Structure 1
Amino acid sequence: MVTDNGVGSGGSAGQVGGNGSCEPELSDCLKTFGAVLKALREEARLTQEQFAPLVRYSVAYVAKIEQGKRFPPRDLLERSEEVLGAVAGRVLGAAARSLTRKAGLASWFRQWAGIEEEAISLYAYECRAIPGLLQPEPYIRAIFERRLPPLSEEQIERQVTARLERQQLLTERPNTAFSFVIEQALLERHMGGPEVARQLLDHLLEQGARRNVEIQVMPLRQYDHAGIDGLMYLAETPQHEWVGYSEGQQSSILITALKDVSAMLQRYGKLRSQALGREATVSLLEQMRGAL
């Protein structure tokens, strides 16, 4: 099992409160739903590669649902019935009614990860660590090697692999608009040492050159700052609905209330106006890279 615990620093991600383990088990109800979907798909003599475009999801996403690693999106049942038939739709609906969303680490993060994979816009403001989608492998390792309580080598490898897999979103979803606002202090920290910092800056310059990726740095000195309430992540779904996500020490929360999401969007919009523009950010990253 591969999990990615945290959208940013690698800390806990996904629970409404309380403590969660670093290696959560898959929920039995999710595994059951995935097994039912797989059986119905195979009964229809469809491979994942054939089935995925028919229900308008990626092959990788369908695979994760069948493995019990993702909560099925709301549209999946209706789309599956169109492909597999009414009887299969009723069976899948019955399996879906058994799903529970425990307030545990794995379930909440799987839900956000699923939202990420289908988002048409994805925004992130980070003040703790470089956003997970932008972390090069040496930086990822530096984070998990410093994790407390300490992780085993096997646990570190699983976490690194999971995060690198998740980063494929940047290449697999060229029509998704990615926006990142990062505090300059995170770059000045040199997490992992000078060589890791060099690779991080190179990686940010490379990713920021993508047409659908915008990276902005928030200067060290900014007298007007809208990020006082801390990090935030926002995603626009294919139905043009916005969802928010936030993390803390050993806790995290998915934010769906319209009033709260609206407030986050306002703050994020203000942050983008306060941060360095795209060209100024590239200039600063190149300057910092040259100074190392």
Structure 2
Amino acid sequence: MSSEGVDEPGWDVSPEDEIAPVVEATGRQVRLWREAAGMRVIEFGQAIGYGEDLIRKVERGARIPRAEFLDRADEVLNAGGHLKAFKEDMEKARYPKKVRELKMLEERAVELGVYESHSVNGLLQTEGHSRAVFEARQPPYSQEEVERAVAARMARKSIFERSPAPALSFVQEEVAIRRPIGGTMEWRRQLEHLLEMAQLRNVTLQVMPTNREAHPGLDGRIHVLRFGDGTAVGRSPGAFSGRPVSDPRQLRILELRYGMIRAQALTPGESLAFIEQVLGET
């Protein structure tokens, strides 16, 4: 998989993941209940407040119906809860498997440390920035794939709403701060968002200046999550063949590299001043 726009090694949003067969089964059920009710597609759409094109996509399994869609369909078609019963499966299918796995890890984590090289980490991206990243992929994603990937990435932001709050540490390469992905206005919104996130008490954001001659992150991004039971998992494309690792000795290597990266980066205060400077230059 291309690394362009990827923010988590091995745990990336991947719209190419196969959508669960249950999506097609759900669509067939919607169509069967609609036909049993004697309603044409256009009539059904008007009754539940959705367009004819979307209805057809849902019925052939090309679109994952939202919970409110299934609620309205169940009510209008008098399905007796049979369509509502698919809501949990549809919520799972909405996000690619690797994203669900990563989100589950992040929901358990009490500490997270990320070094990011070429792009702003997904947890720190605005929705517009994230959409621009996925729209830049080659070969191109369909618009539905883009929206699915963006929704999955935004869903992970629930980590910032947890209580007690986990300790979150990010080191971003300068190039990621300076690249105007999505155009000037979206770039400004992204920089402003970084400044807002850096003000959170449980968030530490640092910038690695390009003028640093060398540092342990030159082999690629590093991602380490620690959990309340003392266990941890980490991954880096430049270590252990890119596999996720949980062995304490291997994790120690990733943590050592990340610690050295943090030591060589700008301090949090200097990093905020740097981002403000870049924002002022836009």
**1:128 is matched with which residue?**
118
- Aligned residue in 1 for 2:195: 205
Question: Which of these two proteins has the greater Rg computed from alpha carbons?
Answer: 2
The alignment covers a number of residue pairs equal to: 215
> For 1:135 and 1:154, how far apart are their aligned partners in 2?
19
Range with greater deviation from structure 2 (163-172 or 203-212): 163-172
Query: How has the CA–CA distance of structure 1 residues 224 and 150 changed in structure 2, closer, same or farther, with 3 Å as cutoff?
Result: closer
Shift in CA distance, 121/191, structure 1 to aligned 2, threshold 3 Å: same
Question: Aligned in 2, Cα 1:210/1:188: closer, same or farther, shift over 3 Å?
Answer: same
What is the CA-CA distance between 1:14 and the residue it aligns to?
3.9
**Larger RCO, structures 1/2 (Cα 8 Å, 6+ apart):** 1
Q: Which residue of 2 aligns with 1:80?
A: none
**Match in the other structure for 2:221:** 231
Which residues of structure 1 form unaligned runs of 5+?
A: 29-62, 70-105
Aligned amino acid, residue 268 of structure 2? R
Give the alignment partner of residue 155 of structure 1, picking from 120, 145, 161.
145
TM-score, structure 1 as length reference: 0.65
Match of 2:5 among 4, 9, 24: 9
- The question of whether the paired residues in 1 share the 8 Å contact of 2:8 and 2:223 is answered with no
Q: Is the 8 A contact 2:166 2:202 kept in 1?
A: yes
Percent of counterpart pairs with the same letter?
Answer: 33
- Separation in 2 of the partners of 1:8 and 1:197? 17
Deviation string, structure 1 residues 123-163 (Cα, Å, up to 9, x no partner): 10000211100001111011011111111111111111111
Per-residue deviation, residues 256-290 of structure 1 (Å, max 9, x unmatched) = 22222110000001111110111101111111111
Root mean square deviation of aligned Cα: 3.4
Q: 1:278 is matched with which residue: 253, 262, 268?
A: 268
Q: By how many angstroms is 1:170 displaced?
A: 1.2
Counterpart of 1:23 in structure 2 is 17
Q: Distance in 1 between matches of 2:277 and 2:184?
A: 14
1:176 aligns with 2:172: no
Where do 5+ consecutive residues of structure 2 fail to align?
23-86
- Structure 1 residues 66 and 275, CA, compared in 2 at 3 Å: closer, same or farther? same
Equivalences for 1:28-39 in 2 at 5 Å?
none
* Counterpart Cα distance in 2 of 1:161 and 1:289: 27
Distance 1:118 1:148 in 2: 33
The match for 1:265 among 243, 255, 270 is 255
1:69-105, CA deviations, whole angstroms, 9 ceiling, x for partnerless residues?
Answer: 7xxxxxxxxxxxxxxxxxxxxxxxxxxxxxxxxxxxx
Distance 1:176 1:221 in 2: 31
Q: 1:257 to 1:8 in 2, by over 3 A?
A: farther
**Distance in 1 (alpha carbons) for counterparts of 2:125 and 2:8:** 17
Give 2:203's aligned amino acid.
Answer: V
For the residues of structure 2 that align with 1:237 and 1:119, how far apart are their CA atoms? Answer: 5
Closer, same or farther in 2 for the Cα pair 1:155/1:108, shift >3 Å? Answer: closer
Q: Distance in 1 between matches of 2:242 and 2:16?
A: 14
In structure 1, what is the equivalent of residue 52 of structure 2? Answer: none
Q: Aligned partners of 2:107, 2:265: CA distance in 1, in Å? A: 26
